[in-house]
Amino acid sequence: MALLSLRDVRIHDGVGGRDLVHGVSFELSPGKVVGIVGESGSGKTLTCRAVLGILPEHFRVSGGGIELDGRDVATLTRKEWTALRGGTVGAVFQDPASYLNPSLRVGPQIAEVVRVKKGLGRRDARRRAVELLGAVRLRDPERVYQRYPHELSGGMLQRVLIAAAIAADPRVLIADEATTALDVTVQAEILDLLADLRERTGLALVVVSHDLAVVAQLCDEVLVLRAGETVEQGPVERILYEPRHEYTRLLIDQHERYGLDRFRELDHVA
Amino acid sequence: MSLEVSDLDVHYGRTRALRRVSLSVAPGQTLGVIGETGSGKSTLARAVVGLVRPSAGRITVDGEEVTRYRARQWRALRRRGVVQYVFQDPLRSLDPDVTVEDSIVEPLLIQGRPRREAADRARRLAARVHLDEELLSRLPGELSGGQRQRVTVARALVTDPRVVILDEPVSALDAANRVRALELLKQLRDAGTALVFISHDLGSVAGVADRIAVLYQGGIVEEGPARTVVNAPRHPYARLLVGSAPTLRSAAADRAQREELRELLQNIGGPA
């Protein structure tokens, strides 16, 4: 059964008086990865926020439906949402530093999540937080536990955020441009970590990026969003080898004609 | 050579930001310089445009040694327009109160060329960078990001420079504008301009560069024809970089190989 299913989701901007997302549908099963590709303004972040129940003020889901673990999210009370966030679905975003309190050490911030979401006592929460820091492959988790956010690099902070996001054992993790601000070698570390978590724990992923290649590496199914419309959707191989929409072709061109793939393609032919 | 840098060292206090960096670019050639955070990439960009003083080594622009130039001499060099620069954020490098046309031709007016000749030149350059002529009378704030980037490129070209230094020229652009900008760079290169394309993004650099240099912890650890660097990198960091860059068809390295390279790099440290 699908862990997460979106059926023709439309999102309305009450201030602008128009729909910004015009019907997004996909289903996500345990251990699977769905990728959403799109540029700023494509509606990809609004879609994620709708799934998390954190749409900005004045925005609402105006059509279609979202089911999380078999429950229609439109019927959820605030309390039920709070339980679902973290416990069923977690998320990481582009700018990890802004999600941490700069004046607190990072370890206790994760321990706090564990205490609230899992109901553990202080000592157990601390032990679990250190475990989580290890699970996201941070070297020397005990030391990282004691660090303030400003003492960590961008890649380390994103790992800390992933540790916090998986603290309550969610079954779905949404990574919205989670590697965009990072160096490419660090981006690969984070993507490798996500692939690793998926294999080890069966975590299902929604990977959102402006870069088709980032999504293609990890995903089973891809949605290409543009100006709130799904212009292309299907299994990743089909999208890469038989793109139907002009915009998808442009995203492919970016790599094949103007990127690393231009060398690989030629070598392949030779 | 249009630009030649040899054994360049830059220190910030006691920190050695660049160590014995050597590179050269011939007319009509594009050199890509790849560097991630802390690699010395920005320091290198600043050094070759005279914004930081090297502590050792030589910089030669179009046959003229500029290493020890004072600010006044750099200004004179810039006025002649032999070397030009395009930076990442076009909004910040364009005066918001000056029309697109005036921004483009400013270097010519400073040289004392007649207004009519300059206006004529602006129209031809706009066509060359695929900028609608009617945009020439607008202010930078009225243009899209991609259009603004084309304005900065047009301005860089107005003096027929021998060398154009591009620091992250496409990083802020969306897919469509990125492809257009890279296409434009190829045209410039084919017209004989030497380009130095400095970026953290191996993908976009590989799209236009003839040669690629990889900067790591202040030193160049790999340099060669783009195809060779992409397909057969030797230094562990270059291998990790290539193996980490997202590509559409299968990645150059798999997870286990990347992990091995990371371990290896931890152990060997930076360039000597």
Residues of A with CB below 8 A from B212's CB?
A: none
| 3-state per-residue secondary structure call for B16-40 | EEEEEEEEEECCCCEEEEEECCCCC
Residue with tokens 């004046």: A103
Query: Quick check: is B259 in a domain?
Result: no
Domain locations along chain A = 4-269
Contact B227 A259 (CB under 8 A): no
Indicate whether B144 pLDDT > 90. no
**Residue B242 lies inside a defined structural domain of this protein:** no
Q: Is the ipTM of this complex over 0.95?
A: no
The CA–CA distances, whole Å, from B17 to A27, B4, B43, B70, B219 equal 50, 19, 7, 21, 9
Q: Which of B201, B249, B255 lies nearest to residue A184, judging by beta carbons?
A: B201
Domain that holds residue B189: 3-233
Would you list which residues of chain A are within 8 Å, Cβ to Cβ, of chain B?
39-40, 154, 183-189, 192, 195-196, 210-214, 216-217, 240, 250-265, 267-268
Amino acid residing at A100: L
Range in A118-132, B93-107, B132-146, B174-188 the model is least confident about: B174-188
Q: How many CB atoms lie within 10 A of CB B103?
A: 24
DSSP structure class, residue A42: S
Q: Could B178 and A258 be called an inter-chain contact, meaning their C-beta atoms sit closer than 8 Å?
A: yes
Taking residues B49-69, report their average pLDDT: 92
Point out the least confidently predicted range of A101-115, A137-151, B103-117: B103-117
| Nearest CB neighbour to A250, from listed B176, B248, B262 | B176
Determine, yes or no, domain membership for B271.
no
- Residue B132 belongs to a domain: yes
- Specify the pLDDT at position A270: 38
Asked whether the beta carbons of residue A258 and residue B182 sit closer than 8 angstroms, the reply is yes
Q: Decide: helix, strand or coil at residue B219.
A: strand
Tell me the CATH number at B163: 3.40.50.300
A54-87 confidence digits (pLDDT tens): 999 999 999 999 999 999 999 999 999 988 998 8
Integer Cα distance of B119 and B125 in angstroms: 10
Confidence at residue A206, expressed as pLDDT on a 0 to 100 scale? 97
Tell me if B130 is assigned to some domain.
yes
CATH superfamily of A4-269: P-loop containing nucleotide triphosphate hydrolases (3.40.50.300)
Number of domains within chain B:
1
- Residue B258 inside a domain? The answer is no
The answer to whether residue B241 is domain-embedded is: no
Q: Rounded to 5 degrees, what are φ and ψ at A206? A: -115, 110
Q: Does B227 touch chain A (CB under 8 A)?
A: yes
Least Cα separation, residue B117 to chain A (angstroms): 35
Q: Identify the burial level of B53 via C-beta atoms within 10 angstroms of its C-beta, where 0-12 means exposed, 13-18 middle and 19 or more buried.
A: middle
Question: Is B119 part of any domain?
Answer: yes
| Among the partner residues B175, B202, B249, nearest to A184 by beta-carbon distance | B202
Report the pLDDT value the prediction gives residue A86, as an integer from 0 to 100: 86
Q: Do B248 and A261 touch (CB under 8 A)?
A: yes
Please tell me the distance in Å from A13's CA to the nearest CA on chain B: 24
